[in-house]
Amino acid sequence: MGLLRRQFLILTAAAAALPVCSTLAVADNYPTRPVRLIVGFPPGSATDTIGRIIADSLSKRLGQQVVVENKTGAGSNLAAQFVAHAAPDGYTLLAMTITNAVNETFYQNLDFDFAKDIVPIVETFQSPNVLAVNPSVPAKTLPEFIAYAKANPGKINYASFGVGSAPHMNGELFDMMAGVKMVHVPYRSSPVPDLLSGQVQAIFSPMPVTINFIKAGKLNALAVTSDKPSDALPGVPTVAQYVPGFNAGIWHGIGAPKGTPPDIIAKLNKEINAVLADPETKAKFAKYGGVPVGGTSEAFGKFIHAEIEKWAKVIKTANIKPESGH
């Protein structure tokens, strides 16, 4: 009886240790198959462009392909929902951006909570947006643009990637702080063709989307939305120089479903930080007007919380609703 009891206790202890051992083994061997990076915007968008740069280099470091999948719709909520409900095993990641922080306040009836259901891994990229206008706009400087907008309320149409997107929120913040009234025109696909043709006149654009058109002289850059000028657009002032206190850059990062093992999060954080420290990545980011960020998962989580609070104030003050097209 004593022998049987000892055998039972040994087996019980071994069984109890199995989950811990298997978790560690999974983390040590991770990844053993391709990893999906889910992007909530179409190919060619800033989130897609930055995501592909990260995925390409991360694939080499992990020894497994990191495949970018575009799941567009509902202002990137479809992608975030997909990842929030995915298995928390490190094989489904979210390309996160400012829009996800905006949506936390903007949409009231989602079946996931971005702040709780997505674990931040690392912030990857920051850049200013740029206020770019069609050359037909009779304003060559930001003060001229503000004066023109005040003299012609409702005459300037500005494009965005949808209600609640970063360009939209930048426009709302600009309206509030500059004392102007522009008309928001949300797009489900890229607004760039209509911007180039003059169908819409302006956009607070992520730098990767319009910088090449600006350099080619097809669009005029009036200002950048960061608190400091951008090396990518020398000579272009900040909005804050003429609208004190304005600061609204864009950011990108990587997240995973809640419940993903901490050691997998730590491994991904370490490898992505190594990608961001690579001079080749820095050069690619600079081409699109941005800089790598990096850092800890905890620091990224605090930053996201601050962004959620910041844009919640804009949404409530401007009374922006998902269905309003405001």
Q: At residue 163, does pLDDT exceed 60? A: yes
In this predicted structure, what is the pLDDT of residue 317? 86
Residue 216 tokens, joined: 């080619």
Our CA angle for 69, 73, 76, nearest 5°, is: 75
pLDDT in tens, 242-263: 999 999 988 999 999 999 999 9
Cβ-count burial 263-287 (b if 16+ within 10 Å, e if not)? ebbebbbebbbebbeeeebeebbee
| pLDDT, mean of residues 65-79 | 93
Nearest to residue 324, comparing CAs of 173, 164, 213? 164
Side chain identity, residue 239: V
Q: At residue 265, does pLDDT exceed 60? A: yes
pLDDT in tens, 126-159: 999 999 999 999 999 999 999 999 999 999 999 9
Nearest to residue 186, comparing CAs of 203, 174, 207? 203
* Superfamily of domain covering 129-241: Periplasmic binding protein-like II (3.40.190.10)
Torsion of CA 59, 45, 269, 169, to 10 degrees: -170
Alpha-carbon separation of residue 232 from 18, 203, 302 (angstroms): 53, 18, 28
Residue 219 tokens, joined: 């669009």
Q: Give span(s): CATH 3.40.190.150, the chain.
A: 35-127+250-318
Place of tokens 């601050």: 306
| pLDDT, mean of residues 53-78 | 95
In this predicted structure, what is the pLDDT of residue 211? 92
Cis before residue 34, ω within 30 degrees of 0?
Answer: no
Q: Give span(s): CATH 3.40.190.10, the chain.
A: 129-241
pLDDT in tens, 11-42: 445 445 555 444 445 567 999 999 999 999 88
Q: Alpha-carbon distance 158 to 304, whole Å?
A: 26
In this predicted structure, what is the pLDDT of residue 8? 45
pLDDT in tens, 268-309: 999 999 999 999 999 999 988 899 999 999 999 999 999 999
In this predicted structure, what is the pLDDT of residue 154? 93
Side chain identity, residue 309: E
Q: Alpha-carbon distance 128 to 218, whole Å?
A: 20
Angle between helices 166-178 and 98-106 (to 10 degrees): 70
| Residue 65 backbone dihedrals phi, psi, to 5 degrees | -70, 135
Please state the pTM of the whole predicted model: 0.80
Mean pLDDT lowest for which of 91-100, 179-188, 316-325? 316-325
In this predicted structure, what is the pLDDT of residue 68? 98
Alpha-carbon separation of residue 231 from 224, 236, 289 (angstroms): 11, 9, 7
* DSSP-assigned states of every residue in 137-190: SS-SSHHHHHHHHHHSTTT-EEEESSTTSHHHHHHHHHHHHHT--PEEEE-SS-
Domain 35-127+250-318 - what CATH class? alpha beta
Would you tell me how many other CB atoms lie within 10 Å of the CB of residue 137? 20
In this predicted structure, what is the pLDDT of residue 94? 98
Q: Alpha-carbon distance 303 to 123, whole Å?
A: 9
Q: Element (H or E) spanning 257, and its range?
A: strand 250-257
